[in-house]
């Protein structure tokens, strides 16, 4: 069970994301885990500029420096020890030996970054991958299927079939298809383990009222 779950350190490693956007991501995490996470602590980790970093090593560094429930967001490529070249670069990961998860923004950038709309898409993708990894911190597991929530979007824990789409297609279909609310199975798990409470009646009502007739 996650220790000190109510406080989350969100650590920027790199410069792809502005501080105001980091706060927006933190606020999004706070809203999706309302009742579980009550405080977001934003900080910047000074590190050398690198193209790639070992994902497990980064989680260990962050655990040593920040100690506790932590999410690191880096613009470096996250590498693993997987022998398959296709799988040794990841969007995010969680170290099972501590309470640290990390996200890479490297592959989340749109092909064009020429407008505020493109940047907002980039931040939205980063938030959705962050929700997935923070979900792992709480003990949630991947959904191999495309599991939907009550508002019709994919659960943040939906992983789908990675190989089928390749990175670019995977981001458009799975990451962009994810919502900000968790499915019933995830909510039930969080409720039993952490006392998480449903917020979906209001969210569903708002979604129905805003949808076209």
Q: Can you tell me the distance from the alpha carbon of 129 to that of 3, in angstroms, rounded to the nearest whole number?
A: 22
Instruction: Retrieve residue 158's tokens.
Output: 């939906």
* CA–CA distances in Å: residue 16 to residues 12, 110, 113, 200: 9, 13, 12, 33
Per-residue confidence (pLDDT) for residue 138, from 0 to 100: 96
Per-residue confidence (pLDDT) for residue 48, from 0 to 100: 79
Mean pLDDT by 10 residues, the chain (213 residues): 85 91 96 93 88 94 94 95 71 94 95 90 97 97 90 93 80 95 94 72 53 56
Sheet order of strands, 7-13 included: 39-44, 7-13, 70-74, 100-104, 92-94
Report the half-sphere exposure of 109 (CA within 13 A, side-chain side).
14
Q: Can you tell me the distance from the alpha carbon of 94 to that of 104, in angstroms, rounded to the nearest whole number?
A: 12
Per-residue b or e along 54-68, where b marks 16 or more CB atoms closer than 10 Å to that residue's CB: ebbebbebbbeebeb
Q: 0.85 exceeded by the pTM?
A: yes
Topology (CATH) of 7-210: Collagenase (Catalytic Domain) (3.40.390)
DSSP 8-state symbol, 111: S
Per-residue confidence (pLDDT) for residue 84, from 0 to 100: 59
Per-residue confidence (pLDDT) for residue 160, from 0 to 100: 82
């Amino acid at each position: 069970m996650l220790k000190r779950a109510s406080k989350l350190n969100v650590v920027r490693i790199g410069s792809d994301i502005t501080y105001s956007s980091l706060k927006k991501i933190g606020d999004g995490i706070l809203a999706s885990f309302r009742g579980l996470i009550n405080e977001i602590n934003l900080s910047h980790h000074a590190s050398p500029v690198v193209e790639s970093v070992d994902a497990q090593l980064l989680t260990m560094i962050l655990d040593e420096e920040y100690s506790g429930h932590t999410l690191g967001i880096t613009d470096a490529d996250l590498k693993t020890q997987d022998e398959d070249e296709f799988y040794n670069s990841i969007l995010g990961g969680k170290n099972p030996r501590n309470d640290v998860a990390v996200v890479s923004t490297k592959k989340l950038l749109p092909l064009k970054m020429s407008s505020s709309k493109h940047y907002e898409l980039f931040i939205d993708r980063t938030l959705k991958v962050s929700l997935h990894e923070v979900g792992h911190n709480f003990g949630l597991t991947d959904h191999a299927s495309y599991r939907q929530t009550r508002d019709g979007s994919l659960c943040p824990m939906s992983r789908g079939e990675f190989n089928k789409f390749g990175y670019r297609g995977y981001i458009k279909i799975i990451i962009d298809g994810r919502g900000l609310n968790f499915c019933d199975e995830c909510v039930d798990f969080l409720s039993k383990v952490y006392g998480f409470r449903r917020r979906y009646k209001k969210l569903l009502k708002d979604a129905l009222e805003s949808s076209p007739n």
